[in-house]
Structure 1
Amino acid sequence: MPAVPDLLRALLPRRCPGCNRQLGREAGLCASCRAGLIPRLEAHSPLSARSAPHLVTLGPYRGVSRRAVHALKFGGARDLAGVLGGALAAGVPAAWQVGAVVPVPLHSRRERERGFNQAALLAQAVAAALAVPCVPALRRTRATAQQARLHAHERTANLAGAFQADARRLPPGPVLLVDDVMSTGSTLKACRDALQAAGVGQVYVAVVAR
């Protein structure tokens, strides 16, 4: 059954989070903003090895992507997850042969406060578009300080030992790790390392914005 805020969003006049235009029957973003969500492979990132692309994004954290992530994460606009996740999935190369999609987890306390994990919603949409399972194979073993409030050199220490993976839940093949935003890449690297320590061979990454 839809939550009350979701019902209110469906009944009230809505504006596009990307450009503030009045929305018609579109879900999440207007057609113009959707057209601007162009996935790209990034060879040069903290997650890439030997310049081989391991990361797909919808571009820099600005403009439509920034406003859309903010509306999803803090405005409760959950319908944006389908739009953003679908756009991300369109940029995942078939050559990656992704077997499962794994969301970056929130600590249980923070997820209760927010009411949902935006990375999980995005991962579900990506997995549906790729026709592979979405598996919550990662968990946070402890709460951490918010990465955005830390200096770059503090972020790795903040996340040390913060994630644990259960690879038994995953099918064979490469894994696609999904989050909303990447800044220094510390969180994604910690998650990737946890998955690989649990026996996952290849981990690719998809984020809405960098």
Structure 2
Amino acid sequence: MDGLRSALRALLPRPCPGCAQPLGSAAGLCRACCAGLHPRLERHSMLSNAVTPHLVVLGEHKAVLRRAARELKYSGHRDLAAVLGQAIASGVPSEWKLRAVSAVPMSGIRQRQRHFNHAEVLARQVAAELGLPYQESLKRTRHTTQQAKLSGEARLSNLIGAFAAQSSGLMVSGKITQTLLLVDDVMTTGATLKACRDALAESGVNQVFYAVITR
């Protein structure tokens, strides 16, 4: 069935997921939608007490970006990762002095359902654009209810003990990565990124920065 879907996608013209106009020779998003990708730096009190920005985001979860994030996540259009990853990477400050890039991991059950981890595909593209290694620094220790179905404190409690750092994925040049960029698709309350950061901090990572498509 997956092979048939892939064959049909290759044969049928695909509209731009951002504006529904024909993609033509463009990949991922049409040229007009690509021109509207402007990364910005923000801060989030749940993720850091520092006054300096520590989050790269392409925009709010609406319009073009919302549709593009959904297409990448649920429809398997990996070419979107190249476009979005390039835009995200262009907004990462050199002052962060990053050593590696990692992604929010997906549970085994969910990854088997979707056949790939969209956050990892995006993170690998960001890493390639920045000339940094991609590291599998985290793993899911248990399957959790989808965060989108929860609200408020339930999001935090849902993720208690859900992530653990992988020591083999924290090493760069024989040493624990001290400064890491963590990539995900969408940030709502920041609970998922915070849970990942806490797991990384317990394993010796000093500084975590973040990058998402939408907030």
Q: TM-score, normalised on structure 1?
A: 0.95
CA distance in 2: counterparts of 1:138 and 1:109, whole angstroms: 16
* Structure 1 stretch displaced more, 164-173 or 102-111: 164-173
> Secondary structure of the equivalent of 2:185?
strand
SS of the residue aligned with 2:59? Answer: coil
The unaligned stretches of length 5 or more in structure 2 are none
Residues 167, 200 of structure 1: 8 Å contact kept: no
1:191 is matched with which residue?
196
Q: Secondary structure at the match of 1:56?
A: strand
Q: What aligned pairs does 1:90-129 form with structure 2 within 5 A after superposition?
A: 90-129=90-129
Q: Give me the whole-angstrom Cα distance separating, in 2, the residues matched to 1:146 and 1:44.
A: 22
C-alpha contact (below 8 Å) 1:15/1:22 kept by paired residues: yes
- 1:180·1:209 contact (CA, 8 Å) conserved in 2? yes
CA deviations on 1:183-202 (whole Å, 9 max, x unpaired) are 00000000011011111111
- Correspondence for 2:16: 16
Indicate if the aligned counterparts of 1:167 and 1:199 stay in contact, CA closer than 8 A: no
- Paired amino acid for 2:200: L
The 5 A counterparts of 1:1-210 are 5-170=5-170, 171=172, 172-210=177-215
Count matched residues: 209
How far did residue 43 of structure 1 move?
2.7
Separation in structure 2 between the aligned mates of residue 65 and residue 182 of structure 1, nearest angstrom: 13
Instruction: Among all aligned residue pairs of Structure 1 and Structure 2, give the percentage whose two residues are the same amino acid.
Output: 55
Q: TM-score normalised to the size of structure 2? A: 0.92
> How far is 1:73 from its partner?
1.0
Question: Quick check: 2:138–2:169 contact (8 Å CA) kept in 1?
Answer: no
Q: Distance in 2 between matches of 1:116 and 1:52?
A: 34
Q: Quick check: 1:86–1:129 contact (8 Å CA) kept in 2?
A: yes
What is the CA–CA distance in structure 1 between the aligned matches of 2:187 and 2:20, rounded to whole Å? 25
